[in-house]
Amino acid sequence: MSIIKHLSPHPLADIFPLLTGAEFDALVEDVRANGVLEPIWICQGKILDGRNRYRAARAAGVHCPTQTYEGTDPLGFVVSLNLKRRHLSPSQLAFVALDIERIEAERAKERMKAGGGDKKSGVQQIAPPIEDTGKARGLNQADEYGHAERHYDCLDDNQLCEFRPDGKRLVKELADDNSVLFMWVTAPMLERSFLIIKAWGFEYKTFFVWDKVKHNVGYYNSVRAELLLVCTRGSCTPDTGKLIDSVQSIERSNKHSQKPVEFYDIIEAM
C-alpha cells in the first residue's frame, strides 16, 4: 500500500461539493483497479482540483500523481474543469454560483483598494446561470450561513481533539472529574463530534434542538435546526428538578454562528 502525503484542499476547491456514498465508493474501486488517470492540480501547496481523486487514492492506497497550477486565474480554472465534468442539481449549481459571486466580489474590493475605480470594472462574470428560480429563492441567506471558513479560522478534527484552551493542557486534563460539556453541532458534523467528545474525556447523554424557525437551504432537506449536545464526565446531573423542554423554537439572527442568549439561561438554570 502506498503512503500518500497529506494535502489540504485549496479554499477555491470547496466551491464544488464532494462525492459521497455510492458515487465515491465506485470511484475508489475504479482507482484501485486502474490507478489515478488524471493528476490532481496543486496551487500554493493545496489541492486546487482533484479532491475526490485524491481521497479515492488514499482510500485505495495507490499513488496519486500531481501537477502544479502556474496560471493567474485559479478560480476560472477550477470552475471550467468542474462544470465540464460534473452533473450538478439546480440547487447545487445555485450554491456554486453564490460562492463564485462572493469570491468575485471580494476580488473587486481588493482591486478597488489597490487602484480605485468602478466596482464592476475588470470583474469576470463566470457564475453559471440559474434557471430554477424557485430552488434559488432565499439563497442569499444560505450564502451568509455557508462554510464557516468564510467567517473565521477553523480547526480540523485532530486539532480539536488535542485542543489546549490554556495553551498547555488538553481539555481532558483541564476538565473537572465531575463536569458537563455542552457542544454545538450541525447535522453534517454530528458523527465527527463524538470523536472529539471522547477525546475530551466525556460521554454523550442527550441533546437540545434549536429550532431556528427560519429555513436555510441544504443538500438533502431544508435546514432549520441545530443541536446542543449534553455530555458528562463523572457524575454531573442538573441542579434543578425542573426538566427543560428539549426543543427550543427561537428565530435565528442573520449573523453566522450566533447562538440565542436563551440557551445561556438554560445552561445556567441546569
| Confidence tier at 90 by pLDDT (50, 70, 90) | low
**Cα separation of 209 and 133, whole Å?**
31
The pTM for the full model equals: 0.47
Q: Which of 2-16, 142-156, 162-176, 255-269 has the highest mean pLDDT?
A: 162-176
Domain covering 164-269: architecture: 3-Layer(aba) Sandwich (3.40)
| Confidence tier at 125 by pLDDT (50, 70, 90) | very low
If we measure between CA atoms, which residue out of 76, 65, 67, 70 comes closest to residue 15? Answer: 76
pLDDT of residue 207: 96
Query: Which residue type occupies 34?
Result: N
Q: What is the pLDDT of residues 194-216, one digit of tens each?
A: 999 999 999 999 999 999 998 77
**Cα separation of 88 and 255, whole Å?**
29
CA distances, 3 to each of 16, 59, 71 (Å): 26, 11, 29
Other beta carbons less than 10 A from residue 9's beta carbon: 16
Pairing between strand 247-249 and 203-216?
parallel
Query: Average per-residue pLDDT in the chain?
Result: 80
Q: Is the pLDDT of residue 60 over 60?
A: yes
* Torsion sign over Cα 231, 253, 94, 89: positive
Q: Which residues have a Cβ under 8 Å from the Cβ of 151 and sit 6 or more positions away?
A: 256, 257
The stretch 47-74 carries a mean pLDDT of: 93
Domain extent listing, the chain: 11-150, 164-269
If we measure between CA atoms, which residue out of 240, 212, 244, 243 comes closest to residue 225? Answer: 212
Q: Which residues have a Cβ under 8 Å from the Cβ of 224 and sit 6 or more positions away?
A: 211, 212, 213, 214, 215, 216
DSSP summary character for residue 258: P
Q: List helix spans (H) across the chain.
A: 21-34, 51-60, 74-85, 90-115, 133-136, 139-144, 157-161, 171-174, 190-199, 261-269
For 137-140, the CB contacts below 8 A with 24+ separation are 138/215, 138/217, 139/94, 139/95, 139/98, 139/217, 140/98
Q: Which of 146-160, 232-246, 250-264 has the highest mean pLDDT?
A: 232-246
Higher pLDDT, 222 or 229: 229
The stretch 102-114 carries a mean pLDDT of: 74
pLDDT of residue 192: 92
**Cα separation of 199 and 196, whole Å?**
5
| Confidence tier at 253 by pLDDT (50, 70, 90) | confident
